[in-house]
A and B are shown apart, each in its own frame.
Chain A
């Protein structure tokens, strides 16, 4: 019987297809640089389209130091942790319910800071919830530990006690497990106050108290002219590198100013305590440039409002900061997928739930300007954040010790656990029970696993920093983005 011509054709095609298949799959390894370029552009696509110059400034700022790179790459960290990237190291500590815990999202040393609560008490807590959302608690532990590893890795080698960065980072895990154990045993949740938790936090408390009492934020960004407080405009501090703003405040266009003024009234309804609307009467608006790393290109306004009396001394300075989407956690399907009405509402709700007390910032609220969502907080010098540069400098010159850094890492880990345990899970579950069950009392196991993680992923951060600078040199500040 004569063979059909199709059979003959298939006999020819199949080996060719197989050859094509093998020929097209012989690439080795991942091109990390290309991946970094692609994902940074993807994460910042809307901002690049809106304001390429300022978004390019963000990338330049990220390139100015490894810690700034770390601060600007939470999206890459999440991808690497969930998608078989270099951060995809198996954990023994997780469960389905444990992946519905309310996360800080981007916990790291520079996101720890002081607050003055409504009662006047000064306390330390996490202060940035832009990346908050529901997810696996182990991700937060690893992110915080990574920041400690990086801080330790930046210390000068000479004159520093012989404690490895990995061991320092493990203190975060031990602190986390200790807080879970303590609360399981009925101890009250951790409260961080001055004079109790080592030299580094005491230094932070002292500076916050001194600057807060002197009201330096108000005096830096406003001044009293003819008995009336007005906004200050200009460059207050130079940027870290060329093309990056330092501390700059500019007068916004009149239309923008009116828009902010018109919408600020919304914030009253979102505050934790009722405040008479006339105390929120706007007296001045400035556009702040240069703040933050991840949020560098986002719009940020300083708004001067009346405060308790008409006297200029008790005016409030509010920061109205645009909020963006949190990093997507690939593969994690939580239901419902959308839990908040807006990003501003998400950030405010998370901050109140995760902090020691919901009134840590009595002027915390949110507002919407059209499709954009903003978080409002008091811009007071009582709110002061940790600075890794200062830690590196002071540990390096011997004013602080590695033991001080280790104590800070432990407290940071405890604070993170307290934050997680404070808030109900996505479906209202008791986070303490869920996290404690995931942990199973294995403090050393968590520490060991965390050390392993930072020792694998930490060096990747340093490599990524070099890759970013190579990209900036080759592609320019916008990394080759095409409008």
Chain B
């Protein structure tokens, strides 16, 4: 779950009462700031009286979150069978929240291979090392029925964040938007998020360097990304939340010293429920992989319980065309398999936080897409993955509202 989802959840759990309290607190704070500004050379102003019920909310809170995806990958090609234990993701992050959760910040670390792809030059060989994935501060302004969040720092990509809020299969790999190189998961910059009517519509605007989290800014241009998320249909099925998600994105961007164009436009539709999830995303790039070419990506996924929570089935399909002007330049990945949610008495109530996947993945390329022109079969491979996806969260203050699945 993204940190924004946590924040949103924390904000929402208060409901209207909390919102009223927060508004009152904001008014009190404004009054306090005004008093400070007008009497800064005189005696310190008296602390404005807190509205009833604001005391607990005003105390600093902390949320610690971690995720770990690890397991065994076996790869089969015509030339070799190879298997290795891998840690696909190891992340640890913390959010500090102050002032009734209206200001705060997140620092999140992730594990990466120090030598990188194809490199022999790493830290102590090719060790897994931790690096900053996100580091940002935020301020939130609730103006019912609108809430505005401002973020600054190494901020999450607003599109990845939006789509993943309705995507439950991160343990099997990122969405095509990320894995296909269309978007990086975080970047240096700032963003504004506007929530309307309790999440019915959400708009985000981000202005970032455009080089992702691996590089400093390489050109003077900035990426501007706009996303819109709509939740037009939310309902309760068998006492559990379900709903439809519509996402849209447009990015005007550039990358590298040469300011190569790096624009994106895309959309996604997803259905989420306690039993079945499904979705599809379509992204089109103008400027891809440092070249002024057009590329497209289509990702689709579906998963659902056969015997809840013990057995579920999953299928994913990713299709990437790195240059739309070329014939047969597409690559595709088909994933299918089963999962089980480990439900033990000692574990937290959300079983999806301890999920074991067993899937088969088939990768193939079109005649004009493989690493050897004219020999697409060289790119073909089959992968068998056994992956344990573990996620956990700890809060310094107890939640005072029922758990929402995603927000």
Q: Is the CB of A31 within 8 A of B258?
A: yes
Q: Is the CB of A27 within 8 A of B371?
A: no
Q: Which residue of A lies closest to B267 (CB)?
A: A17
Q: Is the CB of A336 within 8 A of B82?
A: yes
Q: Which residue of A lies closest to B294 (CB)?
A: A25
Q: Is the CB of A482 within 8 A of B381?
A: no
Q: Is the CB of A13 within 8 A of B232?
A: no
A72-103 interface code vs B (CB 8 A; 1 in, 0 out): 00000000011110001111101111011000
Would A330 and B121 be within 8 Å (CB), given that A24-B263, A97-B78, A100-B79 are in contact?
Answer: no
Contacts of A83 in B (CB 8 A): 289, 322
Q: Is the CB of B374 within 8 A of A24?
A: no
Distance to closest chain A CB from B330 (angstroms): 11
Instruction: Determine the distance from Cα of A482 to Cα of B123 in the docked complex, in whole angstroms.
Output: 24
Interface residues on B, range: 35 or more
Instruction: Give chain A interface residues in 35-89, CB to chain B under 8 Å.
Output: 35, 37-39, 41-42, 46, 81-84, 88-89
A binding-site residues for B, Cβ under 8 Å: 4, 6, 10, 13, 17, 20-21, 24-25, 27, 29-31, 33-35, 37-39, 41-42, 46, 81-84, 88-92, 94-97, 99-100, 136, 138-139, 324-326, 328-338, 340-343, 346, 371, 373, 425-427, 479-482
Q: Is the CB of A84 within 8 A of B260?
A: no
Q: Is the CB of B374 within 8 A of A340?
A: no
Q: Which residue of B lies closest to A425 (CB)?
A: B79
Instruction: Determine the distance from Cα of A37 to Cα of B326 in the docked complex, in whole angstroms.
Output: 24
Contacts of B289 in A (CB 8 A): 83
Q: Is the CB of B120 within 8 A of A27?
A: no
Q: Which residue of A lies closest to B82 (CB)?
A: A335
11 CB contacts below 8 A, A to B, read A20-B250, A24-B265, A27-B286, A29-B292, A84-B368, A90-B373, A136-B378, A325-B119, A331-B365, A482-B217, A482-B218
Contacts of B381 in A (CB 8 A): 333
Contacts of B118 in A (CB 8 A): 325-326, 328-329, 337
Main SS at interface, chain A: loop
Q: Is the CB of A82 within 8 A of B259?
A: no
Main SS at interface, chain B: loop
Q: Is the CB of B121 within 8 A of A343?
A: yes
Q: Is the CB of B257 within 8 A of A96?
A: no
B248 within 8 A of partner (CB): yes
**Known pairs A41-B257, A83-B322, A425-B79 / 14 extra A-B pairs, C-beta < 8 Å:** A13-B248, A25-B284, A38-B258, A41-B218, A94-B375, A95-B375, A95-B378, A96-B79, A99-B372, A325-B118, A332-B379, A333-B379, A335-B75, A480-B257
Instruction: Determine the distance from Cα of A97 to Cα of B78 in the docked complex, in whole angstroms.
Output: 7
Instruction: Determine the distance from Cα of A4 to Cα of B230 in the docked complex, in whole angstroms.
Output: 13
Instruction: Determine the distance from Cα of A41 to Cα of B367 in the docked complex, in whole angstroms.
Output: 31
Q: Is the CB of B119 within 8 A of A92?
A: no
Q: Is the CB of A97 within 8 A of B232?
A: no
Q: Is the CB of A346 within 8 A of B120?
A: yes
Q: Is the CB of B291 within 8 A of A35?
A: yes
Give me the 7 closest cross-chain CB pairs, A-B, nearest first.
A90-B374, A34-B258, A335-B82, A331-B371, A96-B78, A328-B118, A94-B375
